[in-house]
Chains A and B, each alone.
Chain A
């Protein structure tokens, strides 16, 4: 039991892939100009992480050391392709917005990193939890950054949630500031770097205070 709590804590906080390992920054910085994009990419990444972790841990004793990396890459690429196809068939408009960043999940080092560092050495149960927690930890950072940039950049929250939830989403979109002209910096790439920097700093600050 203690193991599992440790795994969860690792994924969500102390070894957070986006804040501590600083992996997967390319999609993280690119798609987080609003919450809906962030949630979409977060779910897709988490799904791939869980699927690849579970599969690799199940076959960890069969996968020979000398070919493990090609096999990991093969499995991850397959899962990403499957996710891409599923998104195209169920969330087509969201897929169009996320565009190239869905196939680019394959290059997210966090996924190969967890396969090599965790799933190839642990049982499938632990690997599932590890994948899930790493994915959720990554998604939370995506969403926080997305919320910050959307709020400052365009003055809305959950804009275009219809892409994810259908007609239900229309009620969710909030125009926080009326007649807000928007702050361009937050939407453009520099805003992503500054925002992520602030979140990393905040995390370090909290850690420092605790110790």
Chain B
């Protein structure tokens, strides 16, 4: 009885060790490539919003805890520099009130507080309706480039249905409303003086 339990245990042990060995082997051989892929994708995404930076933008990134979109969150900030002078920030932040939960956004703002553009990184909006915020599906989100807090004015920073200037999609108002509101709030936060200097 004891013998057979030990035998079964030993067998299980041998299989575990061998399996772990192969998984670990694959992991070590693919690690570099996976890291490379992640970085390439990020650089591609950042590159859609900003060009002409000369720094290693991934190495210069930092995180900041702040109160944004009515929640406490940690945002990731990528500073774009040319000749060692920052000319724009790319901010990865979360807007919690999409139609279906969190929307992860990447927003580029230059040092004159003008928008370089907005891109959606991840979302759970309704396929076919709310997902027109993806660049794959429509150009809607590209309209933010060049806008700022005063262009259009505060009253117009809304979807058309709420009396603003931004189109909403047929059957989906909440999603575009979320993006517009998220973009405006971030712009507002960035316009505050010394906001980035008190790093913490």
Residues on A close to B: CB < 8 A?
33, 62-64, 66-67, 70-71, 74-75, 77-78, 81-82, 85-86, 88-90, 92-93, 96, 153-154, 182, 184, 187-188
Contacts and interface: CB of A to CB of B under 8 A. Distances in A.
Given A74-B19, A78-B23, A184-B127, A92 B11 contact: no
B26 interface: yes
B61 to A, nearest CB: 20
Contact of A82 (B7, B15, B26, B128): B26
Contacts of A62: 11
Interface of B: 4, 7-9, 11-12, 15-16, 19-20, 22-23, 26-27, 30, 33-34, 37-38, 41, 126-129
B19 A184 contact: no
Contacts of B19: 74-75, 77-78
A88 B37 contact: yes
B8 A66 contact: yes
B24 to A, nearest CB: 10
Nearest to B129: A184
Given A88-B37, A187-B128, A71 B11 contact: yes
Nearest to A59: B15
A33 B127 contact: yes
Contacts of A89: 30, 33-34, 37
Given A82-B23, A89-B33, A63 B16 contact: no
A92 B16 CA distance: 28
Contact of A92 (B9, B26, B34, B127): B34
Contacts of A85: 23, 26-27, 30, 34
Contacts of B126: 184, 188
Contacts of B9: 67
Nearest to B28: A85
A92 B37 contact: yes
B129 A67 contact: no
Contacts of B128: 153-154, 182, 184, 187-188
